[in-house]
Amino acid sequence: DKTYRTTVPTWVAQDENGEEAELEVAPTDLMAVAAAVLVVVADWQTGHADPFLNNVIALSIACELLEAISLESYVTAVAVSVGLLTYDYLAVFKTVGLANVISGVSSAGGTGDSIMVSVAKQVSGPLKIIFPSSNPNATYPFSILGLGDIVVPALTTSLCLRVDKALQVEGKREATPGARPLFLSAIAGYALGLVLTVVGFNATQSAQPALIYICPSIIVLTSVTALVRREFGSLL
């Protein structure tokens, strides 16, 4: 592919010697920048109110986060997942009505939204994925999936994919094209977690912290897969 070379001022980027950095730009890079500018301008023009544009920007942020962050061990992945799902649980279930108290709105019996739900509803920005609500009588017309509900499980999922590849490269597993059992079990765990989240919401008609369903599902399925394949030591 054809690329263009240019230099950028030192206040933008520097090379290892502190001089002007040389930048290689491909036509696809220019197209990506143009598309990004169009999406951002369109989102600004609509007052951050268009669900599609919000989701495009939010997913782009999630992808950038996954490129910048990676976990080095399964133990770390489990620890991060457990810590954040605990926070998610407390923020959703143990702060019900507190948002009203903080805002000065009285609520009988400690009812109302939790801090987490209140922030998710009120913050206008690409910090969440928005779907039309399946409940026509809902006071809030959208279902919400936070970026954390995507990025945190994806960190474990990407780790499983790296372990799959490493086992094949090291010769500890037959190099079968497309064979990614740990990665696929993590994907299945994520799908199962989302289904359980929806079931929990429909059963209680209240907001559910998705991570308390997603993280255990991924951990259980990937661990069972590794144990069955006698690869749990390699996974750790």
What positions carry a catalytic annotation? 88, 149
> What ranges make up the beta strands (E) of the chain?
4-8, 21-25, 128-132, 142-146
* Alpha carbon 189 to its chain's center: 14
Burial of 59 (0-12, 13-18, 19+ CB in 10 A): middle
CA distances from 209 to 7, 65, 127 (A): 47, 21, 15
128-132/4-8 β-pairing: unpaired
Nearest to 124 by CA among 187, 173, 58: 58
d(Cα 19, Cα 11) in Å, to the nearest integer?
A: 10
d(Cα 111, Cα 122) in Å, to the nearest integer?
A: 18
Nearby residues of 83 by Cβ (< 8 Å), 6 or more positions away? none
Q: Which two tokens stand for residue 83?
A: 């810590």
Nearest to 214 by CA among 142, 122, 146, 159: 146
